Amino acid sequence: AQSVTQLGSHVSVSEGALVLLRCNYSSSVPPYLFWYVQYPNQGLQLLLKYTTGATLVKGINGFEAEFKKSETSFHLTKPSAHMSDAAEYFCASGGTSYGKLTFGQGTILTVHP
Amino acid sequence: DGGITQSPKYLFRKEGQNVTLSCEQNLNHDAMYWYRQDPGQGLRLIYYSQIVNDFQKGDIAEGYSVSREKKESFPLTVTSAQKNPTAFYLCASGTGGSGANVLTFGAGSRLTVL
């Protein structure tokens, strides 16, 4: 069975600082990996995804993530945080059938002025 | 614009009552999903459907029921058998098949049991 672990339920950064949100996955087969963002009382929006090929994936709003098979990690980064980045972020893993996703617990990002 | 519409956005229910949450998509997606979101627990899969008139239980199906009579619609009924129904419910759709498919989410329905 797949599982996704996000380290840190809350991350706080200053505006302009580096954002690093951690995600580790457990899978018996190479996974498909996703990062989604959720603003309060809204649905989830896709930030980026890794399927095959290049291990450094660029997404929307300046975010990127690197797939590291040896570390079973898919951490999300952004060089400079903006106030509008404040939201909850979810890492997810896709299996090989039916398009089902397994989600991590979520990380709430707070950005201070 | 194509998307997923969930209604109602907010719903209050008395204990012992069934309620139905609506989910409609105009993306021509084959697959539809219902997730439940609780603080600190991420999203957990309730039911999913790959095709009309067929659906499968997810990880937490007890106390819930669904139907898929039309490709565009996948309503979720929260029954009185669900012990702790207060949560945020998210409907999603996708092309299905591969685990690489991207899900599109609705804006969610927040259910509160009084």
Residue B95: exposure state from Cβ atoms within 10 A (0-12, 13-18, ≥19): middle
> Residues B79-95: pLDDT tens digits?
988 889 999 999 999 98
pLDDT above 70 for B32: yes
Quote the pLDDT of residue A3.
Answer: 87
**Cα–Cα distance measured from residue B35 to residue B89, given in angstroms and rounded to the nearest whole number:** 6
Task: State chain B's mean pLDDT as an integer.
Answer: 92
Question: Which tokens is A2 given?
Answer: 């797949």
- What's chain B's Rg over C-alpha atoms? 13
Report the amino acid identity of residue B108: G
> Residues A25-84: pLDDT tens digits?
987 666 789 999 999 888 999 999 998 888 899 999 999 999 998 899 999 999 999 999
C-alpha separations of B98 from A35, A68, B21 in Å: 17, 22, 27
Chain B contact present for A70, CB below 8 A: no
Determine whether the interchain pair B102/A46 forms a contact, defined as Cβ–Cβ distance below 8 Å: yes
The alpha-carbon gap from A30 to the nearest alpha carbon of chain B, in Å, equals 11
Percent helix / strand / coil, chain A, rounded to 5: 10, 55, 35
- Average pLDDT (B21-27) is 97
Chain B contact present for A96, CB below 8 A: yes
Quote the pLDDT of residue B95.
Answer: 83
Task: Find the distance separating the first CA and the last CA of chain A, reported in whole Å.
Answer: 41
The shortest CB-CB distance from A96 to any of B31, B99, B107 is to: B99
Residues of A in contact with B41 (CB under 8 A): 105
Quote the pLDDT of residue B75.
Answer: 98
- Average pLDDT (B47-61) is 94
- Average pLDDT (B68-88) is 95
